[in-house]
């Protein structure tokens, strides 16, 4: 973890410093998924979608038996399985967004030993500049990837819903 130079005193405990929180999040499961290559990232999302099928498949089978309504089963189960991906994506976005906010702020709230002794620390200009560079070059691309993934999921859900409507009314 990166430390400040000796001339820059920081009263914030190490684990509550925004840059250290960023480093920890970057290595944490599942948040590190967003830092993977495109192929590995998509593979993790498809893996999550596959696990969603373990829940969605049996539940959907109760309403649309595969033997009598295969298209309805596939459309409904695919949409339901994607809910797990949506929840995972939302969790990733909220975690990365929290770190972005902590890095961008000029003052950092922190706790020395418990909830009752909260303090704030104003970042020196050099630290603020460094943190904002990390946001610009490291975190914003991750958030952009997560937003694009969300748009793709909405688009796929719309296609699924449209196919359901066509199947129902034709």
pLDDT, the chain, mean:
92
Query: What's the whole-model pTM score?
Result: 0.88
pLDDT digits (tens, 9 = 90+) for 112-132: 776 667 888 999 999 999 999
Report the percentage of the chain scoring pLDDT > 90.
81
Name the band, by pLDDT with cuts 50, 70 and 90, for residue 5. Answer: low
- On the question of pLDDT at 89 being above 90, the answer is yes
- Give the model's pLDDT for residue 6: 45
Residue 47 parent element (H or E): helix 38-63
* 84 CB neighbour count, 10 Å cutoff: 19
Predicted pLDDT at 2 = 53
Residue at token pair 């702020």: 105
- What three-state secondary structure class fits 7? coil
Token readout for 113 is 């030993």
Please give the span between the terminal C-alpha atoms of the chain, in angstroms, as a whole number.
Answer: 60
Lookup: tokens for 155: 């688009």
Dihedrals φ, ψ of 11, to 5°?
-80, -10
The per-residue pLDDT for range 19-44, each reduced to its tens digit, is 999 999 999 999 999 999 999 999 99
């Amino acid at each position: 973890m990166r430390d400040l130079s000796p001339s820059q005193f920081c009263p914030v405990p190490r684990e509550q410093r925004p840059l250290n929180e960023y480093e920890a999040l970057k290595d944490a499961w599942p948040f590190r998924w967003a830092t993977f290559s495109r192929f590995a990232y998509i593979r993790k999302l498809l893996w999550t979608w596959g696990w969603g099928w373990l829940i969605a498949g049996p539940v959907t089978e109760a309403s649309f038996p595969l033997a009598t309504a295969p298209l309805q089963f596939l459309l409904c189960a695919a949409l339901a399985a994607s809910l797990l991906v949506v929840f995972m994506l939302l969790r990733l976005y909220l975690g990365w967004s929290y770190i972005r906010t902590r890095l961008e702020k000029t003052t950092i709230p922190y706790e020395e030993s418990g909830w009752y002794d909260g303090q704030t620390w104003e970042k020196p200009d050099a630290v603020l500049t460094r943190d904002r560079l990390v946001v610009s070059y490291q975190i914003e691309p991750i958030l952009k990837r997560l937003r694009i993934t969300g748009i793709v999921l909405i688009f796929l859900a719309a296609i699924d819903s449209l196919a359901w409507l066509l199947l129902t009314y034709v």
